Structure 1
Amino acid sequence: MHLERLVFILEVVGQKGRATVADICAQSDLPKPTAYRLVQDLVSSGLLESPARGSFAIGKRLRRITLSDYSDPALLEVIAPVLANAASAYGAAFFLSRLRGHWVEILHVATPETGVSYLHPGIGKRPLHACSCAKAIAAVSPELLSRDELKGQLRQYTEHTITNREDLAAELEAIRAKGYAECVEELERGISSVATTLTKTGAGSTVSIGATASVRVFTPATRNKIGKALSEMSQELSCALGWNDADAERICA
């Protein structure tokens, strides 16, 4: 349990780039005194450092171990321009999400600059069972659904929300077969979205890109088109980030 807490804190700080104890507590059920003590343990070991008072970042020792940067700023530097181009090309909002603890969080949204009308998905947490960005991640990491923490979390948001574990398992199997996830009025009436992970394994399996629009705009045919486009984008981005699983390695070569 102690080790799991330390690893979780490192994940939160690593993803955000910089995080406070309050940020860590917001992503977990850790009491503030416990989180602060664990953070100090990580600082003393060189795995975290404090570049500013009250703010913590990955320490030099851990950076030497990993030799990589998976922080939000590092991802945005590569992914944000690609999402901006897609938003303009398709006239819809495109977004970047990643797994944080037991939720998936939308952390960046690119909107079209062509004067067209679009829907903004908003920034923040999404449940694993009721949003395309979260279902895409859950589909390639089914162990997320076996956690005890998921019990009681299959909340119904609309009449289209999946609230049964067996139905959700079938949905995730269909997502794996298609290569992308869809959400059609499952989280909010009138809104649909499509998303896929950057890779099927490794670090990229916890990061997804997607697009959203009204159900009138994102018809089944359009969602299929967007899904295929997102799959191609994910392959290109995974190559750029060096997150190449077995399938992506053939494409990046």
Structure 2
Amino acid sequence: MHLERLALILEVVGQKGRATVADICGQTDLPKPTAYRLVQDLVFSGLLEAPARGQFTIGTRLKRIASSDYSDPALLEVIEPVLSGAASEFGAAFFLSRLRGHWVEIIHVATPQTGVSYLHPGMGKRPIHACSCAKAIAALSPALLSHDELKGQLKRYTERTITNRKDLEKELAAIRAKGYAECVEELERGISSVAVTLAKTGVGSTLSIGATASVRVFTPAMRIKVGQALAEISHGLSSALGWDDADANRQSA
């Protein structure tokens, strides 16, 4: 348990690039006194550093251990221009999400620059069972379906929300077979979205890209088209980030 808590803190700080104790608590559900104590232990060991009062980054010691940079800013340098291009091409908002501890969070949204009307999905945490960006990741992350992690999370948002664990497992199996996840009025009436992970294993399996629009715009046929486009985009991004099959297998080992 102690090691898992330390790992969660390092994961959150590593992904955000710079984080406060409040950020860590928000993503791990750790009590503030516990998070603060563990952060101090990590700073003492050189795994974290405090470049400014109350803010923490990955420490020099840990950087020596892990040479690759998978922080939000580093990933966005590669991913953001591609999402912006897709947003303008499809006239819809495209977003990037990633797994932080036991939650999936939308961390960036690219919007069309063509003057068309679009729906903004908003930033922040998304429920595992009722959002395409989270379901895409959950389909490849079985640990997220543990009874303890799902306890109290299968909240009903609309009449189409999945609230039964077995039904959710069937949905995730269908996502794995289809290659992309959909959310059709499961989180909010009138809203739909489509999402895929950047890879099937490794770091890429904890990141998803997606698009959202009204159900009027994202018809079944359009969702298929967007899902296929997202799959192509994810393949290109995965290659650009150096996540070939060998690297993905190494990361997941």
* Pairwise TM-score range, normalised by the shorter structure: over 0.9
Aligned to 1:177: 177
CA distance in 1 between counterparts of 2:166 and 2:73 reads 37
Q: Which amino acid aligns with 1:121?
A: P
Q: State the secondary structure of the residue aligned to 2:209.
A: strand
- Equivalent residues of 1:136, 1:197 under 8 A apart: yes
Partner SS state of residue 195, structure 2? strand
Offset, 1:216: 0.3
Q: Structure 1: how far apart are the matches of 2:60 and 2:196?
A: 33
Asked if the contact 1:200–1:245 (Cα under 8 Å) also holds between the matched residues in 2, the reply is no
Correspondences of 1:59-74 after superposition (within 5 Å)? 59-74=59-74
Q: Distance in 1 between matches of 2:28 and 2:3?
A: 15
Match of 2:198? 198
> Given the alignment of the two structures, is residue 57 of structure 1 paired with residue 72 of structure 2, yes or no?
no
What residue number does 1:219 align with? 219
1:36-80 deviation digits (Å, cap 9, x = unpaired):
111111111111111111110001111111101111111111100
The CA distance in 2 between the partners of 1:244 and 1:127, in whole Å, is 29
Identity %: 82
Aligned pairs for 1:10-89 (under 5 A) are 10-89=10-89
Q: Structure 2-normalised TM-score?
A: 0.95
Deviations 1:98-126 (A, max 9, x none): 01122210010000010111000000110
Aligned to 1:240: 240
Give 3-state SS (helix, strand or coil) of 1:80's partner.
helix
Cα distance, 1:35 vs structure 2: 1.0
Describe the superposition over 1:170-202 as per-residue Cα deviations: whole angstroms up to 9, x where unpaired: 111110011000000000000000000000111
Tell me the TM-score normalised to structure 1 length: 0.95
SS in 2 for 1:69: coil
1:104 is paired with a residue whose SS is strand
Indicate the residue corresponding to 2:151 in structure 1. Answer: 151
Root-mean-square deviation (CA), in Å? 1.4
> How far apart are 1:240 and its partner, in Å?
1.2
Superposition deviation, residue 246 in structure 1: 5.8
> 5+ residue gaps in structure 2?
none
